[in-house]
């Protein structure tokens, strides 16, 4: 499913963001500093100060990167010719591919970014989480269930995330796309049931299979 | 270990749990843990020769053992398998509600940037609970059994618990029993049966939670 992922040469801002994500994941938020980020990014301290007024601003921008990637993938793969659930299943494959290609941001989004960061940074993460929960809750519109258990979106997202979290903790990022069927089953079944969960899991499996070997 | 030894030990692990919840592991010192517990530092060194990490390991073990114990206490041979699941989940929610600092440690902190030993204990507990949940397939009519389902089920229920803990609503945890039952059973049994069990969880006359301790 991967398209042409050739990217323009990284700007100083891109390098600073990636360095922030890497150091945050390796050392924890408390040990982030402007000199260490600048050194890792290969830019001078003045350039860093011109881009980000403080470390907290760099952290806030870094945690927005995986959230923006998720929103972009979802938007790109949405089509009115498919059901919303089918679009989601395809988006899951795209998101897991992005995560496999971007381990530092993935670790930041799933593990390091959830630790004791300042409220401003934490609120960025929380907003992204709520966005994904709201997206999943939309699946109730396609459900035939007579009663809709509360907080199903939160639980479904937790179920799906748990599937990939273990691989992320173990540093097995390349295996993430292969988990798309399990991710999709966990996220879809609470809303649309086992049969549809299995059908969409199979759809995502086919998309992953189409991948050329890396 | 006799009761004279147990009391300061318990106070120390309660202190490390509450301090970690408040400020994170990196920020706290052994001096603060001893002061919060009201235990001399020399005594803390005797009980936990490895310092604050040993103390934290003991705290992590406590929440793991309490949760596993709660599942066991919820079991009765006189009930159906799924009624046992409902009672087990209810008992876990009660236990977690009664020790919010330890719960925060087990459900939130240990999943983040905790030392490797702490994560290993957490992971071990996770594997035990997953193995118990995998039994759900024995009652399923599904033609396929996706991998990682038990892991997902546990993750879904834990997401519900974490949200309540993060919001400081630990005492309300037993109230999310129906939602936990739904998310724990729907991948195995399908929507209709999961919904029936969630309704049953709501209707069952389950014992009230013990008074909250800790925070």
Dihedral sign computed on CA atoms, order B61, B67, B68, B69: positive
The count of domains in chain A is: 1
Confidence of residue B1 (pLDDT cuts 50, 70, 90): very low
pLDDT of residue A4: 44
pLDDT of residue B46: 95
Domain ranges of chain B: 60-203
State the smallest CA–CA distance between residue A197 and chain B in angstroms.
9
Question: To probe the interface with A, which of B154, B176, B186, B193 has the most A CB atoms within 10 Å?
Answer: B186
Percent of chain B with pLDDT over 70: 90
> What is the C-alpha to C-alpha distance for residues A106 and A175, in angstroms, rounded to an integer?
13
CB within 8 Å of B181: residues ≥ 6 apart: B85, B86, B89, B194, B197, B198, B200, B201
Give the end-to-end CA distance of chain A in Å, rounded to a whole number: 12
H/E stretch holding A120: helix A119-137
pLDDT of residue A115: 66
Q: What is the pLDDT of residues B195-209, one digit of tens each?
A: 999 999 998 756 555
Question: To probe the interface with A, which of B27, B89, B129, B146 has the most A CB atoms within 10 Å?
Answer: B146
Question: Tens digit of pLDDT per residue, chain A (214 long)?
Answer: 654 454 556 899 999 999 999 999 888 888 899 999 999 999 999 999 999 999 999 999 999 999 999 999 999 988 889 999 999 999 999 999 999 999 999 998 888 877 667 788 888 888 888 999 999 999 999 998 888 899 999 999 999 999 998 899 889 999 999 999 999 999 999 999 999 999 999 999 999 976 554 5
Q: What is the pLDDT of residues B93-141, one digit of tens each?
A: 999 999 988 888 888 777 665 677 887 888 888 888 888 888 888 888 8
For residue A21, tell me if it sits in a domain. no
Chain B, nearest residue to A118 by Cα: B23
CB within 8 Å of B93: residues ≥ 6 apart: B161, B173, B174, B176, B177, B180, B209
Q: Can you give the residue range of the structural domain that contains A159?
A: 63-209
For residue A92, tell me if it sits in a domain. yes
For residue A214, tell me if it sits in a domain. no
Dihedral sign computed on CA atoms, order A70, A75, A79, A85: positive
Inter-chain touch B24–A166, beta carbons under 8 Å: no
pLDDT of residue B206: 60
Mean pLDDT of B152-174: 91
State the smallest CA–CA distance between residue B138 and chain A in angstroms.
16
Given a cut of 50, whether residue B2 has pLDDT beyond it is: no
Tokens of A106: 């993935």
Chain B, nearest residue to A205 by Cα: B146
Q: What is the pLDDT of residues A26-70, one digit of tens each?
A: 888 888 999 999 999 999 999 999 999 999 999 999 999 999 999
For residue A15, tell me if it sits in a domain. no
Confidence of residue B212 (pLDDT cuts 50, 70, 90): very low
List, as one string, the DSSP characters of A13-46: HHHHHHHHHHHHHHH-GGG--HHHHHHHHT--HH
Inter-chain touch B186–A189, beta carbons under 8 Å: yes
Residue A153, chain B, CB below 8 Å: the answer is no
Inter-chain touch A111–B112, beta carbons under 8 Å: yes
For residue A98, tell me if it sits in a domain. yes
Inter-chain touch A156–B183, beta carbons under 8 Å: yes
ipTM of the complex: 0.82
For residue A128, tell me if it sits in a domain. yes
Question: To probe the interface with A, which of B27, B145, B155, B173 has the most A CB atoms within 10 Å?
Answer: B155
pLDDT of residue A210: 66
Structure pTM? 0.84
Mean pLDDT in chain A?
89
Residue B182, chain A, CB below 8 Å: the answer is yes
Nearest to B152 among A28, A182, A194 (CB): A182
Residue B148, chain A, CB below 8 Å: the answer is yes
Residue B129: Cβ within 10 Å count: 21
Contact map slice: A 18-47 vs B, CB within 8 A: 28, 30
> What is the C-alpha to C-alpha distance for residues A101 and A96, in angstroms, rounded to an integer?
9
Collect all residues of chain B within an 8 Å Cβ-Cβ radius of residue A181: 146
Inter-chain touch A158–B149, beta carbons under 8 Å: no
Cα-based distances in Å from A57 to A61, A117, A191, B21: 6, 12, 38, 25
Residue A175, chain B, CB below 8 Å: the answer is no
For residue A31, tell me if it sits in a domain. no
Q: Tally A–B CB contacts below 8 A.
A: 123
Residue A163, chain B, CB below 8 Å: the answer is yes
Contact map slice: A 178-207 vs B, CB within 8 A: 179, 181-182, 185-186, 189-190, 193-194, 197-198, 201
Collect all residues of chain A within an 8 Å Cβ-Cβ radius of residue B111: 111, 114, 165
Residue A160, chain B, CB below 8 Å: the answer is yes
pLDDT of residue A1: 60
| B214 dihedral zone (left: phi>0; alpha: psi -120 to 50; beta) | left
Tokens of A76: 């790109």
Inter-chain touch A194–B179, beta carbons under 8 Å: no
Whether residue A113 contacts residue A104, with contact meaning beta carbons closer than 8 Å, is answered with: no
DSSP annotation of B25 reads T
Cα-based distances in Å from A116 to A29, B84, B166, B178: 8, 37, 12, 30
Nearest to A162 among B154, B179, B180 (CB): B154
């Amino acid at each position: 499913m991967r398209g042409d992922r050739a990217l323009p040469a990284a700007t100083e801002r891109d390098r600073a963001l990636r360095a922030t994500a890497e150091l945050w994941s390796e050392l924890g938020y408390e040990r982030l500093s402007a000199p260490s980020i600048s050194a890792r990014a290969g830019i001078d301290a003045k350039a860093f100060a011109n881009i980000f007024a403080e470390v907290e601003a760099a952290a806030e921008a870094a945690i927005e990167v995986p959230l923006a990637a998720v929103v972009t993938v979802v938007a790109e793969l949405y089509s009115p010719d498919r059901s919303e659930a089918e679009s989601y299943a395809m988006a899951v494959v795209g998101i897991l591919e992005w995560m496999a290609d971007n381990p530092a941001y993935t670790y930041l989004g799933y593990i390091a970014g959830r630790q004791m960061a300042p409220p401003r940074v934490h609120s960025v993460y929380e907003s992204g989480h709520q966005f994904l929960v709201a997206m999943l809750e939309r699946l109730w519109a396609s459900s035939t269930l007579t009663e809709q258990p509360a907080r199903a979106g939160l639980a479904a997202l937790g179920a799906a995330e748990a599937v990939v979290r273990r691989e992320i903790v173990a540093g097995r990022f390349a295996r993430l796309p292969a988990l798309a069927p399990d991710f999709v089953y966990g996220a879809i079944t609470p809303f649309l049931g086992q049969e549809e969960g299995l059908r969409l899991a199979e759809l995502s499996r086919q998309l992953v299979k189409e991948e050329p070997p890396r | 270990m006799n009761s004279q030894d147990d009391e300061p030990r318990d106070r120390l692990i309660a202190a490390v749990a509450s301090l970690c919840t408040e400020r994170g592991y990196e920020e706290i010192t052994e001096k603060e843990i001893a002061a919060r517990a009201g235990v001399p530092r020399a005594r803390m060194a005797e009980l936990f020769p490895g310092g604050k990490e040993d103390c934290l390991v003991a705290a992590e073990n406590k929440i793991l053992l309490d949760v596993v114990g709660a599942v066991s206490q919820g079991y009765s041979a006189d009930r159906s398998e799924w009624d046992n699941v409902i009672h087990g989940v209810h008992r876990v929610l009660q236990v977690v509600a009664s020790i919010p600092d330890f719960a925060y440690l087990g459900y939130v902190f240990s999943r983040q940037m905790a030392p490797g030993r702490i994560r290993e204990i957490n992971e071990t507990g996770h594997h035990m609970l997953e193995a118990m949940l995998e039994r759900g397939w024995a009652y399923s009519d599904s033609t396929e059994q996706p991998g990682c389902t038990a892991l997902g089920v546990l993750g879904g229920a834990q997401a519900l618990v974490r949200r309540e803990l993060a919001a400081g609503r630990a005492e309300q945890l037993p109230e999310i029993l129906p939602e936990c039952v739904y998310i724990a059973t729907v991948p195995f049994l399908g929507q209709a049966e999961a919904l029936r069990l969630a309704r049953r969880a709501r209707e069952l006359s389950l014992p009230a939670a013990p008074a909250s301790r800790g925070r």
